[in-house]
Structure 1
Amino acid sequence: MEGMNSEASAVKLPECFSSVIPGWFSEISPMWPGEAHSLKVEKILFQGKSEYQNVIVFQSSTYGKVLVLDGVIQLTERDECAYQEMITHLPLCSIPNPKKVLVIGGGDGGVLREVSRHSSVEKIDICEIDKMVVDVSKQFFPRVAVGFDDPRVTLHIGDGVAFLKAVPEGTYDAVIVDSSDPIGPAQELFEKPFFQSVAKALRPGGVMHSAAFSLPSFARKVIESKSD
């Protein structure tokens, strides 16, 4: 891995997805036509391409460091805690004394950090498909990736769908799906067979929490996939 000190204008992202013009990053996607989310860029810190996706970290003027996967903002230093806390503590506080927790995705380590705050938890498995995301997060987002340092954590680099299929029935008290957008490597995490595998992996009374995003179409897709 190597850091990148080039200016924002040197960054090239997938066409028709996002763009960097001098001084600005704009997240543009056909999933939300007519909208764009833009942040002012101070410096590109890292740019790389893994087996699965483009990975970029840049320093913004208002949100601190920003992690971008395939042109989609995944987290910012300024507000990552709001997402990590909600996706973690809501499910874990809804059941008594969760002991075994599985995180699918979550390669930045933020969900792990929050899960580790629960003293009843004895074992935390995380399955992240892209090792570069883990490595980049440890380098540039140490306060987020600190979750990997917990001795209860076991990191599995691989496909979350395949991992769940191999899990014995009734293994986990909670499954937290911290995925990227439902495109590319995360597509299968929003399909019915995946949710059926989650149900099998949960013990009776166990819970699952999945990112459903803010767009109604995404939420409907997740709900329809989980229904019989």
Structure 2
Amino acid sequence: MLQGKPDCCLAQQRRIRKQEMSHPNIKDGWFKESQALWPGQAMTLQVKEILHQEKSQFQDVLVFQSTNHGNVLVLDGVIQATERDEFSYQEMIAHLPLNAHANPKKVLVIGGGDGGVLREIVKHDCVEEVTLVEIDEAVVKASKKFLPAMAVGFQHPKVKLHIGDGFAYLKENENTYDVIITDSSDPVGPAESLFGETFYDLMRKALLPGGIICTQGECQWLHLPLIRSVLTHARTIFPVAEYAWASVPTYPCGNMGFILCSNEPGKDLKTPARYFERSVEDKKLRYYNREVHSAAFVLPQFAKAALEV
């Protein structure tokens, strides 16, 4: 009994600390997203408990347990992932480029500190090595503790973690990777430079022949001028550049885009070069399949007119 008392006291102290936690984006039991790139609208989620908050060297990191969407990761006031729907984004940003490549062996992920993209990449048996470069170690630590179903990707023996700047890493690793995936937050704060022409050129130089990149491509309902600008730059650097999209309910307007580029002239990114077995699609995937791959590149008329230049 005496040995159990300190544990009870510690548990009570932890409960008190959690009750004392507060965050400027949470009021009256509801989280409200900061309006960084989507003025006039904001996603809100009901909060059950704040699990973690800190000001890292680079950004504000918040994790809370919601009433209906599981645990939620928020960076600088913007939702990055919820346990309820993260799989749609993670599967698409990983499997679109990987299945467009005939035989990807070495893969680089820039960003993606929650581990979800890693979880998907290692489902490809042909991949021999995956390196993840994340600038903010606080995101990795918080995800391992509070988003274990995503952070499980860090545990795979094929995975290497490098804490550091993606720009510097690319400069030191030219002609190295078959596929590069940039899983970034929106182009504000530490992720702003990941949408520029210089970064795309560095990714091109880091690719092996026949290489493919895939980056977070923002929302067609909100960011067409930005998407058009990035695609225009990408098409001056790569012979092939395309835009695809997926449904992600807790992202702005419920969808998210992806920009895919290849250094191989004439490369068809819209048709998978490889397929998962149907049994894998049924048992290990929740969003992506071979039909969704091609359909993701079909754009509504307003987006098609703006982006097909």
TM-score over 0.5 for the pair: yes
How far, CA to CA, are the matches of 1:107 and 1:172 in structure 2?
A: 19
How far, CA to CA, are the matches of 2:55 and 2:229 in structure 1?
A: 29
Secondary structure in 1 aligned to 2:100? coil
Secondary structure in 1 aligned to 2:18? coil
Look up the match of 2:19.
6
How far, CA to CA, are the matches of 1:196 and 1:30 in structure 2?
A: 27
2:98 maps to 1:95:
no
**How far 1:32 sits from its partner (Å)?**
1.2
CA RMSD of aligned residues (A): 1.5
How far, CA to CA, are the matches of 2:122 and 2:36 in structure 1?
A: 37
Look up the match of 2:159.
153
2:91 maps to 1:85:
yes
Amino acid at match of 1:62: N
Contact 1:58–1:66 at 8 Å: present in 2 too? yes
Query: For 1:149-183, what per-residue CA distance to the aligned partner results, in whole angstroms no more than 9, with x for missing partners?
Result: 11111111001111111113x21000000001111
Change (3 A) 1:82 1:7: farther
Query: For 1:91-141, what per-residue CA distance to the aligned partner results, in whole angstroms no more than 9, with x for missing partners?
Result: 100111210000000000000000000000011011000000000000001
Q: Where in structure 2 are there 5+ consecutive unaligned residues? A: 1-13, 237-309
Larger Rg: 2
Q: Where in structure 1 are there 5+ consecutive unaligned residues? A: 13-18
Amino acid at match of 1:75: A
Of the three residues 137, 141, 161, the one matched with 1:135 is 141
Look up the match of 2:231.
223
Farther-moved stretch of structure 1 (51-60 vs 24-33): 24-33
How far, CA to CA, are the matches of 2:71 and 2:211 in structure 1?
A: 35
Secondary structure in 2 aligned to 1:5? helix
Query: For 1:3-28, what per-residue CA distance to the aligned partner results, in whole angstroms no more than 9, with x for missing partners?
Result: 961367x213xxxxxx2211111113
Contact 1:128–1:157 at 8 Å: present in 2 too? yes
**How far 1:68 sits from its partner (Å)?**
0.3
Look up the match of 1:16.
none
**How far 1:224 sits from its partner (Å)?**
2.7
Is the helix fraction higher in 1 or 2? 2
Change (3 A) 1:199 1:31: same
Secondary structure in 2 aligned to 1:57? strand
2:214 maps to 1:202:
no
How far, CA to CA, are the matches of 2:144 and 2:224 in structure 1?
A: 33
How far, CA to CA, are the matches of 1:38 and 1:225 in structure 2?
A: 34
Look up the match of 1:15.
none
Look up the match of 2:64.
58
**How far 1:36 sits from its partner (Å)?**
1.0
The list of structure 1 runs, each at least 4 consecutive aligned residues, that deviate by more than 3 angstroms after superposition, is none
Contact 1:175–1:208 at 8 Å: present in 2 too? yes
Look up the match of 1:73.
79
2:49 maps to 1:36:
no
Look up the match of 1:193.
198
Secondary structure in 1 aligned to 2:94? helix
Of the three residues 217, 221, 227, the one matched with 1:212 is 217
The number of residues matched between the two structures is 219
Amino acid at match of 2:110: I
Q: TM-score, length-normalised on structure 2?
A: 0.68
How far, CA to CA, are the matches of 1:140 and 1:67 in structure 2?
A: 9
Identity of aligned residues (%): 52
**How far 1:198 sits from its partner (Å)?**
0.3
